[in-house]
Each structure stands twice: as C-alpha cells, then as structure tokens.
C-alpha cells in the first residue's frame, strides 16, 4: 500500500441523511438510547459510577468492562446531537457526565471496577479491561466535545490519558493491553488536541504487542463463570507475533479489528510501511478466507474468535455484532489509505446484512451472535449481562453520515448510496453541495445534484458496487459514456455547474451465489442475493415443508420480487422455484440406491437482516442444491 491518494472522510457535521431506508432507523436511535439508558441503570452500569463517585453504597455489578457500555452510550448520544437534540437524552447524558467526573480520581485514574473493588491499578492489564474502558471514555470525550463544544467530558478523557501516559511512558511500565481499543482512541485524542504524547502512547501500545507474553487466564466477571481462554493462547490477543509479522486476522475478533483500526490510524499518520504491509495482508486474509457472505466475522464461538481459513460454520457460528461493527470501522479506515472500492464494498455488505441483523426491526431487541442457520432456538434479547453490542450499534447508527463521502485533491468519492445533503470541502476547489436521492437499495437509481457557486472542474467518483453488473450513467438527463472505472470507482471528470445532475442507474436483480469449495459446509449449496442484501429462508414463510428439506434446482429457479410481502422498510421478499426432498431414506445408504423424490414448491426468502422478527423458527442462508 502507499498513501499517495489518501481519502479524507466527510464528517458528520457536513452530512444530513434523508433516506427512505436509513432515516427511520437513525431517527429511532433516540428512542433506542433512552431505552438503553434504562438498561444501563437496571443492570448496574450507571450505579457503578455512583458508587465509585461515593454517592451511593454498594458493590460493583457486571463484568469488569461495564464502564465501557456507558461510554459507548455517551458517544452515541453525542452523535445524535448533529441531527436532532432531545432534551430528555441531553439531561440523562449530562447526569452521566457528572457521575463520570465524580468517579475520576484526582490524578485522572478512572475505572469503577478497580475503584469499587479496591484492586491495584494496572496490575492485571491482560484480564481487567482498564485500558479498553479508558479507550471508550476517550472516544466518547472526543465525540462529546466535537458535537457540543463542552469541555466537561473531554477534560475527564484528557486527564485519564495523561494518567496512562505517566504510568506507562514516564513510569517505564509499558505492557500489552488485554483488549485493544486504547490505541485507536489515543489517535482520536491526538487528532483533536494535537498533543503528540497521545500519539506516542498509541504507537507504543501497538508496537509492544507480540513482543512480550501475556499471562492471561481468565476474565473476572460477576457471573461466576470464569471464561478460560488460555486455550486460545497468545493468538487470542494478537500477541503471538509483532505487528510487522501479522499476515492473518487471528484470535478474538473484536480485539483483532479494534487493533487493526488503531494500526491503520497510525499508518495514516506516519505512512510507515511496517504497518501498511501487514494491514493489506490481514485485510486480504479476512475478506477472502475468513468472512461470511453476510460480512460476519469472528466465526468461532470458542474465544469469540476468527477461525482458520475457510472455517465458516453456519449454525454454530459466532459473528458477534460488535465484530461486524469493528469490521466496518476498520474498512472505513482502510478506505482512507487510498481509492479502492473494495473497502466500502465490505462496509456496504456488512451494514446491510451482518450489522443490521444485530437489531430487531422495531429497534428493541439485539442479537449478540449472528448465525447463518438456526434450528429455531436463536432469538434476539432486550439486553445482555455482557452488553457490549447494543450501545455499539447505537453509535454506528448515529454516526452513519460519516461513511458516505470522501475527498482527495480534486475528487469527491461517493462511497455509500445513502440519500441526503452534503456540504463537501474539496481541496483546491472550495465547497460543493451534493444532494443524493433515490430509493436505493430497493431500486437501483440514485440521483445526484451538484450545488456550486461557480463552475469548477473536478471529478465525482461513484463506487461501483462489487455485486453490480449492468448500469448506466446519465448527466443532465443524457446518457454519459465518457467515464473511467478506476479502482472500482466510476470517475466522471468535467466542469461541473450549479444544478448539474447525475443519474446512476444500477440493475438490481436476484442472483444465486455460490461459495469457495473449501468451505465444506457450503459445498453444493447456494444463497440468494439482491443488490447488497443476502437473503434467507424462514420457516414461517415456507409452511408446507421442513425448511431443511428445501432444495434448489439452479436450472429452474424463476425468481419473483414480492414487494407486497416486504417485512418492513420496503425491501421485498424474493420467491423462487424450489423442491422439497421427500425421499424416505435410512440414515446411511449406498449412494447408487438413492431414492429421492421431489415435490415442487414456491419458496420465499426475506432479507437476512430481517429474520427472527416473527417469533422463533428455523432459518437458512445457504440452501442445498438438488441432488
Ligand atoms: O471484552 C469486552 C467485550 O466483551 C468484547 O469486545 C466482546 O467480544 C465481549 O467479550
Ligand atoms: Zn458485542
């Protein structure tokens, strides 16, 4: 990789989403956050801060990283301020900021688990999540200040970072944080404050990983179940080799991908190829060998971790919602290293599938793991003892605006097709307004209108989605052929005038997807996709057969798009010809004596993200082909 063509994201303050698919989900975030606050109270997260602040008696509740959920919640609340201010939410956020200030020691240290339990600070770096929590505090502090200009939470974040700097750098006690997150947060703080100590600290935490052994055996939590992760060894922590020798994504998926976010941030700041090479190799490894068709990553339940190459089980898979979110965070950063549509292809794939499946259609229940097959036991919950995923979802919904556009000198990149208005500062040109409209991804026509005070020559580069085969471009209503596709972007260079329009018309149609032969569980199976969406079968839509008896004959499929069967938000159900295998065979039998009979049916699939919204039942993404 090299950084000659770096892309700068267009930030939240310059983008307003007005989109038929996403706006209702984003607007719902305020309600979601209010209900999450109740859970943070009910499960003790906020109470821990009251106890640590000395205004309530009691003992610590929850896993050792409970504080992080409050910080992620505050970060999400801060992002909502760009769109709509809600007095109830602001009042609750203000109260929580006050508690956090009260829970911070005079020297800047803050961690309610350590304070309430009277444990020694920074002595169990590997298991206790002090630096993970501090990272989330710093992210919340940066977001809160950027959205409100209020310094109260920022001061807490700065004091905490200073405390960490004194202990680990000035005290010469640098060690390997057990759960990455602090690295990326310190770079954010450095970018906001310009204080190079935070960048130095981030780099030390990145470079030390893999150079000294971590003696981690268990994570202390209040469930009494000590999670023995020793079996995962140093790989669990991405600590088996230094960053320079990493070529694969390994171990605990959220840890691995938060780490990669921090490494990418440091790479973006330094251009040091000792980071660029490993990042490129890990990215290739993840998306070509260790990622589900839904964008789901971290396929193994054991250790919440990445599996080996092609180890992608469907039913007994993990795909923690946080890992999908971390993948989006990382791909968004990788996209900043240079124009290459593949990064935002993964952002899109993950957003519309593995990420969205993490929340119910009404926004009230969450998945922690996201399997691709269910025998009917899997169901979303209102909350979890380990509640990392729900506030993580909220912060991504509330900050979605920053994933849509990027700029480099002379080019505006359209990375995501999410409608709304943007005011884009284009280096060398000035400010360009861009209105994006359409009903993507139900329909493939996306229209752009340029707003500019004087005619100017620059390029508008539209990401050509990986799934797209046929498309046309129109400028001011006329078919336009004078464009180039470079690194997956359709680049239109011309002198743009005020009110010029572009229509990007993509043919979206259902397709059958296949899988690499080495994913043994998917051999002789196929999946249904429609634009960026992966579909699944649910038992409730296919009442005439046991779902697991359904087979597909790829030569007789005849897809239908059933808009009237849409579950919500306008994304249709897809119907197709299928067979039910009614063969009555013993458990094992000689292949040549096979006695399969098939009954023809019309099967119906719904978008994967929308499954399990009508009660429990069987679900299937990869459907067997007829034998
Ligand atoms: O350890 C903190 C968080 O809890 C991790 O990121 C999640 O995977 C869950 O284990
Ligand atoms: Zn999670």
Instruction: Give residue-wise pLDDT tens across range 597-606.
Output: 889 999 999 9
Candidates 100, 123, 120; CA nearest to 52 is 100
Is 60 exceeded by the pLDDT of residue 304? yes
Measured from the Cβ of residue 610, the count of other Cβ atoms closer than 10 Å reads: 22
Alpha carbon of 236 to ligand 1 centroid (Å): 12
pLDDT-derived band at 565 (thresholds 50, 70, 90) equals confident
Ramachandran angles phi, psi of 29, nearest 5°: -60, -30
Helix (H) or strand (E) holding 203: helix 196-208
- Beta strands 560-562 and 598-607, pairing class: unpaired
The CA distance from 163 to 166, in Å, is: 5
Whole-number pLDDT of residue 591: 78
Is 90 exceeded by the pLDDT of residue 569? no
Alpha carbon of 388 to ligand 1 centroid (Å): 6
Measured from the Cβ of residue 378, the count of other Cβ atoms closer than 10 Å reads: 18
Q: Is residue 388 lining ligand 1, measured as CB closer than 6 Å? A: yes
Is 60 exceeded by the pLDDT of residue 579? yes
CA dihedral 128, 131, 134, 140 (to 10 degrees): -110
* CB distance 254 to 269 below 8 Å: no
* CB distance 450 to 423 below 8 Å: no
The CA distance from 434 to 268, in Å, is: 27
Is 80 exceeded by the pLDDT of residue 530? yes
Alpha carbon of 181 to ligand 1 centroid (Å): 11
Residues in the chain, total: 627
Whole-number pLDDT of residue 215: 64
- Say whether 501 sits in a helix, a strand or coil: strand
* CB distance 296 to 351 below 8 Å: no
pLDDT in tens, 39-56: 999 999 999 999 999 999
- Burial (CB < 10 A; 0-12, 13-18, 19+), residue 465, is buried
What is the DSSP code (8-state) at residue 352?
Answer: I
Whole-number pLDDT of residue 594: 64
Is 50 exceeded by the pLDDT of residue 219? no
Is 70 exceeded by the pLDDT of residue 595? no
* CB distance 103 to 53 below 8 Å: yes
The share of the chain scoring above pLDDT 90, in percent, equals 89
Nearest CA owner, ligand 1 atom 5: 254
Candidates 317, 393, 386; CA nearest to 355 is 393
Strand partners, 606: 536
Is 50 exceeded by the pLDDT of residue 522? yes
Q: Which ligand is nearest to the CA of 220?
A: 1
Q: Which ligand is nearest to the CA of 178?
A: 1
How many helices, marked H, and strands, marked E, lie in the chain?
15, 23
* CB distance 490 to 506 below 8 Å: no
Tell me the mean pLDDT in the region 496-515. Answer: 98
Q: Is residue 254 lining ligand 1, measured as CB closer than 6 Å? A: yes
Ramachandran angles phi, psi of 373, nearest 5°: -155, 140
Is 80 exceeded by the pLDDT of residue 228? no
Whole-number pLDDT of residue 428: 84
Is 50 exceeded by the pLDDT of residue 225? no
Strands in 439-572 per DSSP E = 445-451, 456-463, 471-475, 478-479, 484-486, 489-496, 501-506, 510-513, 525-530, 533-538, 550-551, 560-562
Please choose from 128, 388, 390, 392 the residue to mutate so as to test ligand 1's pocket, defined by most ligand atoms within 8 A of CB. Answer: 388
Candidates 103, 105, 108; CA nearest to 160 is 108
Tell me the mean pLDDT in the region 547-553. Answer: 96
pLDDT-derived band at 220 (thresholds 50, 70, 90) equals very low
pLDDT in tens, 394-430: 999 999 999 999 999 899 999 999 999 999 999 889 9
Q: Which ligand is nearest to the CA of 391?
A: 2
Nearest CA owner, ligand 1 atom 8: 254
The CA distance from 178 to 155, in Å, is: 25
* CB distance 24 to 397 below 8 Å: no
Candidates 574, 585, 567, 566; CA nearest to 627 is 585
Is 60 exceeded by the pLDDT of residue 208? yes
The CA distance from 536 to 623, in Å, is: 9
Ligand 1 atom closest to Cα of residue 323: 8
Q: Is residue 322 lining ligand 1, measured as CB closer than 6 Å? A: yes
- Beta strands 411-414 and 456-463, pairing class: parallel
Q: How far apart are the first and last CA of the chain?
A: 45
Cα distances from 357 to residues 330, 360, 376, 612, in angstroms, run 19, 7, 16, 9
The CA distance from 139 to 72, in Å, is: 8
Q: Is residue 386 lining ligand 1, measured as CB closer than 6 Å? A: yes
Residue-averaged pLDDT of the chain: 94
The CA distance from 509 to 530, in Å, is: 6
Whole-number pLDDT of residue 222: 35
Cα distances from 554 to residues 292, 511, 527, in angstroms, run 22, 10, 11
Q: Is residue 304 lining ligand 1, measured as CB closer than 6 Å? A: yes
Alpha carbon of 254 to ligand 1 centroid (Å): 7
Tell me the mean pLDDT in the region 164-191. Answer: 96
Alpha carbon of 544 to ligand 1 centroid (Å): 41
- Say whether 622 sits in a helix, a strand or coil: coil
Helix (H) or strand (E) holding 89: helix 87-103
- Per-residue burial over 424-458, b if 16 or more Cβ lie within 10 Å, else e, is bebeebeebebbbbbebbbebbbebebbbeeebeb
- Say whether 273 sits in a helix, a strand or coil: helix
Whole-number pLDDT of residue 213: 77
Q: Which ligand is nearest to the CA of 395?
A: 2
pLDDT-derived band at 593 (thresholds 50, 70, 90) equals low
* CB distance 36 to 442 below 8 Å: no
Among left, alpha and beta (phi > 0; psi -120 to 50; other), residue 484 is beta
Is 80 exceeded by the pLDDT of residue 366? yes
- Per-residue burial over 27-65, b if 16 or more Cβ lie within 10 Å, else e, is ebbbebbeebbebbeebbbbbbbbbbbeeeeeebbbbbb
Whole-number pLDDT of residue 432: 98
Alpha carbon of 272 to ligand 1 centroid (Å): 30
Q: Is residue 237 lining ligand 1, measured as CB closer than 6 Å? A: no
Alpha carbon of 16 to ligand 1 centroid (Å): 32
Cα distances from 271 to residues 243, 338, 413, in angstroms, run 15, 12, 21
Candidates 246, 253, 295, 250; CA nearest to 274 is 246
Please choose from 65, 130, 225, 327 the residue to mutate so as to test ligand 1's pocket, defined by most ligand atoms within 8 A of CB. Answer: 65
Tell me the mean pLDDT in the region 316-334. Answer: 98
Alpha carbon of 323 to ligand 2 centroid (Å): 7
Whole-number pLDDT of residue 627: 81
Whole-number pLDDT of residue 216: 55
């Amino acid at each position: 990789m090299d950084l000659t063509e770096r892309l700068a994201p267009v930030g939240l303050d310059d983008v307003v989403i007005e989109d038929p698919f996403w706006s209702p989900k984003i607007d719902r975030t305020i309600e979601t956050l209010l209900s999450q606050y109740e859970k943070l109270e009910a499960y003790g997260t906020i109470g821990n801060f009251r106890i640590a602040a000395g205004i309530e008696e009691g003992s610590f509740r929850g896993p050792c990283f409970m504080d992080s959920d409050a910080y992620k919640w505050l970060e999400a609340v801060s992002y909502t301020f760009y769109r709509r201010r809600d007095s109830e939410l602001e009042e609750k956020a203000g109260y929580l900021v006050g508690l956090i200030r009260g829970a911070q020691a005079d020297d800047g240290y803050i961690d309610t688990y350590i304070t309430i339990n009277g444990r020694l600070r920074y002595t169990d770096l590997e298991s206790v999540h002090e630096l993970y929590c501090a990272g989330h505090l710093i992210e919340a502090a940066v977001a809160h200040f950027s959205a409100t200009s209020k310094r109260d939470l920022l001061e807490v974040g700065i004091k905490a970072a200073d405390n960490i700097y004194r202990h680990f750098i000035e005290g010469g006690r640098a060690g390997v944080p057990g759960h990455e997150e602090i690295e990326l947060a310190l770079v954010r703080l450095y970018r906001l404050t310009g204080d190079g100590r935070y960048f130095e600290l981030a780099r030390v935490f990145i470079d030390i990983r893999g150079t000294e052994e971590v003696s981690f055996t268990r994570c202390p939590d209040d469930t009494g179940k000590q999670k023995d992760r020793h079996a995962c060894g140093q790989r669990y922590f991405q600590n088996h080799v230094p960053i320079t020798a990493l070529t694969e994504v390994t171990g605990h998926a959220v840890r691995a991908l938060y780490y990669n976010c921090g490494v990418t941030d440091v790479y973006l700041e330094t251009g040091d190829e000792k980071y660029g090479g490993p990042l490129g190799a890990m990215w290739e490894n993840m998306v070509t060998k260790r990622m589900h068709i839904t964008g789901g990553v971290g396929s193994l339940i054991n250790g919440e971790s990445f599996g080996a190459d092609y180890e992608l089980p469907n039913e007994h898979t993990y795909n923690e919602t946080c890992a999908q979110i971390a993948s989006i965070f990382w791909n968004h950063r990788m996209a900043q290293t240079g124009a290459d549509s593949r990064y935002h292809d993964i952002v899109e794939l993950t957003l519309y599938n593995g990420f969205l499946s993490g929340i119910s259609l009404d926004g009230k229940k969450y998945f922690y793991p996201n399997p691709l097959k269910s025998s009917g036991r899997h169901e979303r919950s209102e909350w979890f003892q380990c509640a990392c995923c729900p506030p993580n979802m909220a912060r991504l919904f509330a900050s979605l605006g920053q994933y849509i556009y990027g700029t480099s000198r002379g080019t505006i990149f359209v990375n995501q097709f999410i409608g709304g208005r943007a005011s884009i500062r284009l280096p060398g040109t000035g400010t360009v307004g861009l209105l994006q409209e359409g009903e993507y991804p139900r329909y493939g026509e996306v229209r752009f209108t340029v707003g500019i005070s004087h005619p100017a020559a620059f390029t508008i580069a539209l990401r050509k989605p990986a799934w797209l085969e046929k498309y046309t471009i129109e400028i001011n209503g006329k078919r336009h052929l004078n464009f180039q596709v470079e690194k997956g972007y359709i680049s239109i260079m011309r002198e743009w005038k005020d009110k010029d329009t572009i229509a990007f018309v993509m043919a979206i149609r259902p397709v059958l997807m296949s899988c690499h032969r080495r994913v043994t569980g998917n051999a002789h199976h196929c999946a249904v996709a429609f634009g960026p969406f992966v579909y699944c079968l649910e038992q409730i839509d296919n009442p005439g057969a046991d779902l697991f008896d359904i087979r597909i004959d790829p030569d007789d499929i005849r897809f239908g798009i059933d808009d009237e069967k849409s579950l919500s938000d306008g994304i249709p159900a897809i119907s197709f010809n299928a067979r039910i295998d009614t063969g009555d065979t013993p458990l094992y039998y000689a292949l040549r004596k096979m006695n399969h009979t098939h009954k023809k049916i019309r099967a119906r699939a719904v978008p994967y993200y929308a499954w399990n919204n009508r009660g429990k039942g069987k679900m299937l993404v990869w459907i067997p082909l007829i034998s």
